[in-house]
């Protein structure tokens, strides 16, 4: 049973809405379970224990069969959560690569896994002060080391306020060799059931994006990439898009 994966949902193909592979068609495998409790978590149904009964324990072949059914041919597979680093995903990646699939993971950087080295893209999204979480810099560094040279690596920090922006600058200063992506925060009431999530304030998000972009330009932070959550602007807070 140790090699079974806790799965919250598998869906797609959809267009990736954020990070270094924004705009790419992808199939999502969202795992269940997380070691963080961020104040503005946008996927509580994959995090909070009260939703555990909705998660399914699946074997590697079962997960890959569903990915292949959805995609019909090789595609980018995005492994997310919750925290996917808590799951035994190395076998899934090996199975998928046999048939030409590529893999990307987004994790907060709290748990390093040896299978990071088999990824095509690793997004480390350490959580800023607005999340209520604290960063263990040693563990974050270990995640980068686990990914090795083959895997493309970026940082992505969600920005709600000046404290978050200062935190992103600190991450960039500690790990200057890793590209930094900044993403405008999307307010989400903590602990809200999936069917009760409100529609986003799109005009507010665009205004927040404009102000963040202007600040980055004014500061001369020319190495940063500033992105919105594309899927939120287009499809709102719906699941499965």
Q: Determine the pLDDT at residue 207.
A: 87
> Pairing between strand 102-107 and 121-124?
parallel
Q: Enter the tokens of residue 179.
A: 């590209």
Q: Determine the pLDDT at residue 190.
A: 45
Q: Determine the pLDDT at residue 187.
A: 66
Say how many C-beta atoms besides its own lie within 10 A of residue 195's C-beta: 7
- Per-residue DSSP letters for 6-66? EEEEEEEEEE--SSTTTT-EEEEEEE---S---TT-S-GGGTSGGGGGG-EEE-HHHHHHH
**Residues of the chain whose pLDDT is less than 50?**
189-192, 194-195
Q: What residue ranges do the domains of the chain occupy?
A: 5-235
Domain 5-235 has CATH 3.40.50.261: no
Whether residue 13 is preceded by a cis peptide bond, meaning omega within 30 degrees of 0, is: yes
User: What average pLDDT does the structure give for the chain?
Assistant: 90
> Pairing between strand 180-184 and 152-159?
parallel
Q: Determine the pLDDT at residue 120.
A: 97
Q: Determine the pLDDT at residue 191.
A: 46
pTM for this model (two decimals): 0.90
């Amino acid at each position: 049973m140790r090699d079974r994966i806790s799965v919250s949902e598998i869906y797609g193909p959809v267009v990736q809405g954020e990070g270094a592979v924004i705009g790419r068609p992808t199939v999502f495998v969202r795992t269940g379970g997380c070691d963080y409790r961020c104040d503005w978590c946008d996927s509580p149904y994959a995090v909070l224990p009260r939703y555990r009964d909705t998660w399914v324990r699946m074997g590697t072949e079962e997960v890959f069969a569903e990915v292949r059914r959805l995609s019909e041919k090789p595609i980018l597979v995005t492994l997310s959560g919750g925290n996917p680093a808590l799951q035994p995903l190395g076998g899934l990646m090996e199975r998928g690569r046999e048939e030409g699939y590529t893999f990307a993971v987004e994790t907060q950087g709290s748990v390093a896994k040896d299978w990071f080295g088999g990824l095509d893209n690793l997004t480390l999204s350490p959580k800023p002060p607005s999340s209520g979480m604290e960063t263990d810099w040693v563990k974050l560094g270990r995640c980068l080391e686990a990914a090795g040279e083959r895997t493309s690596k970026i940082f992505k920090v969600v920005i709600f306020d000046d404290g978050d922006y200062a935190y992103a600058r600190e991450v960039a200063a500690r790990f200057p060799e890793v590209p930094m992506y900044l993403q405008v925060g999307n307010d989400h009431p903590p602990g809200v059931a999936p069917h009760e999530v409100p529609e986003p304030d799109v005009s507010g998000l665009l205004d927040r994006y404009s102000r963040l972009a202007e600040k980055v330009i004014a500061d001369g932070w020319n190495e940063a990439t500033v992105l919105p959550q594309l899927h939120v602007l287009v499809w709102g807070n719906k699941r499965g898009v």
